[in-house]
């Protein structure tokens, strides 16, 4: 975890939406609203948060699948927003993505061999024979049999399809994989299989993951560090054990307390129930954007925008009151 593989500085993505049937006023969705983080080599950083917090947009931004409004994304020493198309294609070899929906992310008209081989062809790697051997090896790696090659995605179950997606993502031996909710579409008994596979590959091939998820148990299992997002901003970022044992931001505290515990005696624990809904990223609340739902809100929170402050060993929190309970 020494070299920084990826450094994100001041990243923003604003989308314009037209309001009303006839297009009138243009409003701005602050999907990602100025975030900073780093991912080291061989490190798993998770982004967690509820719908609309900007975690998936962040994942797409760092692969430059969408263009940022502002900010820098430095990958292997280069700002990927400034490089030309040819260089971007070269860099893309090193960054891959695994999507949430294993039904929508595989072309139904291609065989599994064609799907997994495609990135090798695009980047002109190996001869036909070599590629074929490579694909066979990749399928074996992700736990699929050789006869899978000639079959089509619809012949596989959800868990197996996600394995095909994983094989495609590791085909080019990338340094970074963005895994966007890779198991949330799968059955409970299958999730553990895919998580184990992802962890195995990470350890063996020293891949870094940006792991985007809302299941906080799985995040705790797979991550080195975790960033909690709310309405386009990082509210807290810390080493995984530190975050789960000593959450300092009131939002993180509420989020962790709300995870249902598969043990009836857990009913005794105190759940911090947040009032109200997640606000729309169009009308961001003033001051701290969490203040309308925060159980610890004071008058100042409405005016002061909190910045991420360091609470020791890389545990950063954006809350003006956090010192009181840190």
Partner 1 sequence: MLLTVDRLKTYFHTSEGIIRAVDDVSFKIERGRILGIVGESGCGKSMTAMSIMRLVPSPGKIVGGNINFDGHDLLKLSNEEIRRLRGDRMAMIFQDPMTSLNPVFTIGEQIAEILRTHRGLKKSAALERTESLLQNVGIPDPARRIREYPHQMSGGMRQRVMIAMAISCEPSLIIADEPTTALDVTIQAQILRLLKGLTDSLNTALILISHDLGIIAETADEVGVMYAGKVVEYATTKELFANPLHPYTIGLLESIPRFGEIKEDRLRTIKGAVPKLSELPAGCKFNPRCKYIIEKCNNAEPELIDTGGGHLVRCWVDLNKSKSK
Contact 149, 110 (CB under 8 A): no
Burial class (CB in 10 A: 0-12, 13-18, 19+), 180: buried
Q: Of 28, 261, 282, 305, which lies in the binding site for partner 1, with binding defined by CB under 8 A?
A: 261
Which of 146, 157, 286, 303 is close enough to bind partner 1 by CB under 8 A?
Answer: 157
Q: Which residue has the tokens 């909690």?
A: 228
Tokens standing for residue 206: 């020293």
262 is a site residue for partner 1 (CB under 8 A):
yes
Calpha distance 262→266 (Å, rounded): 8
Token pair for 19: 């309001």
Q: Is 263 one of the binding residues for partner 1 (CB under 8 A)? A: yes
Task: Return the number of the residue (37 or 290) whose C-beta is nearest partner 1.
Answer: 290
Report if residue 217 touches partner 1, rule: CB under 8 A: yes
Under rule CB under 8 A, how many of the chain's residues touch partner 1?
40
Residue 264 contacts partner 1 per CB under 8 A: yes
DSSP letters, 24-48, are -SEEEEEEEEEEEEEEETT-EEEEE
**Smaller CB separation from partner 1, 9 or 199:** 199
Is-contact 121 131, C-beta < 8 A?
yes
**Cα 223 to Cα 52: distance, rounded to the nearest angstrom:** 22
State yes or no: residue 111 binds partner 1 (CB under 8 A). no
CB 78, min distance to partner 1, A = 35
Q: What six digits make up the tokens of 280?
A: 């729309």
Largest interatomic CA distance in the chain: 68
Q: Which stretch binds partner 1 (CB under 8 A): 16-24, 145-153, 218-226, 303-311?
A: 218-226
Distance CA 297, CA 39 (A): 32
Q: E strands of 41-94, at which residues?
A: 44-48, 70-75, 78-79
Among the listed ranges 55-63, 68-76, 275-283, 299-307, the one in contact with partner 1 (CB under 8 A) is: 275-283
Q: Min. distance of Cβ 298 from partner 1 in angstroms?
A: 21
Interface with partner 1, residue 187, by CB under 8 A = yes
CA distances from 318 to 60, 171, 307 (A): 24, 39, 5
- The span of 82-90, 118-126, 185-193, 316-324 binding partner 1 (CB under 8 A) equals 185-193
Q: Are 103 and 165 in contact (CB under 8 A)?
A: no
When asked if residue 204 is in the footprint of partner 1 (CB under 8 A), the reply is: no
Token output for 287? 């001051």
Residue placing its CB nearer to partner 1 in the complex, 54 or 119: 54
229 binds partner 1 (CB under 8 A): no
Among 17, 122, 258, 305, binds partner 1 (CB under 8 A): 258
| Of 70-78, 120-128, 147-155, 259-267: span binding partner 1 (CB under 8 A) | 259-267
**Per rule CB under 8 A, is residue 199 in the interface with partner 1?**
yes
Among 167, 178, 255, 320, binds partner 1 (CB under 8 A): 255
Report if residue 266 touches partner 1, rule: CB under 8 A: yes
Terminus-to-terminus CA distance in the chain, angstroms?
A: 26
Residue with tokens 């402050």: 309
The verdict on 100 binding partner 1 (CB under 8 A) reads no
Binding site for partner 1 (CB under 8 A): 50-51, 157-160, 187-193, 195-196, 199, 214, 216-218, 220-221, 244, 254-255, 258-264, 266-267, 271, 273-274, 276-278
């Amino acid at each position: 975890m020494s070299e920084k593989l990826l450094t994100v500085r001041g990243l923003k993505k604003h989308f314009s939406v037209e309001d009303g049937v006839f297009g009138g006023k243009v409003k701005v969705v602050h999907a990602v609203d100025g975030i900073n983080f780093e991912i080291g080599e061989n490190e798993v950083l998770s982004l967690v948060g509820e719908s609309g917090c900007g975690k998936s947009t962040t994942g797409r931004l760092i692969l430059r699948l969408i263009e940022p409004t502002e900010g820098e994304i430095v990958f292997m020493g280069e700002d990927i927003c400034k490089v030309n198309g040819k260089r971007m294609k070269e860099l893309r070899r090193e960054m891959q993505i695994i999507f949430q929906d294993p039904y929508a992310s595989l072309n139904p008209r291609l065989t599994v061999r064609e799907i997994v081989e495609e990135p090798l062809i695009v980047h002109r790697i190996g001869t036909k024979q070599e590629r074929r051997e490579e694909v066979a090896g990749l399928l074996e790696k992700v736990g699929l049999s050789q006869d899978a090659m000639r079959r089509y995605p619809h012949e596989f179950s959800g868990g197996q399809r996600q394995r095909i997606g994983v094989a495609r993502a590791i085909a080019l031996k990338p340094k970074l994989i963005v895994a966007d909710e890779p198991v949330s579409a799968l059955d409970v008994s299958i999730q553990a299989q895919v998580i184990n596979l992802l962890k195995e590959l990470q350890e063996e091939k020293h891949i870094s993951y940006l792991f985007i998820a809302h299941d906080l148990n799985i995040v705790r299992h797979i991550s080195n560090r975790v960033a909690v997002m709310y309405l386009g901003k990082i509210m807290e970022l810390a080493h995984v054990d530190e975050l789960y044992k000593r959450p300092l931001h009131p939002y993180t505290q509420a989020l962790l307390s709300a995870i249902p515990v598969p043990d009836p005696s857990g009913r005794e624990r105190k759940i911090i129930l947040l009032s109200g809904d997640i606000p729309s990223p169009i009308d961001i609340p003033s001051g701290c954007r969490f203040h309308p739902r925060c159980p610890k809100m004071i008058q100042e929170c409405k005016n002061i925008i909190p910045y991420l402050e360091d609470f020791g060993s890389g545990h950063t929190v954006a809350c003006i009151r956090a010192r009181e309970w840190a």
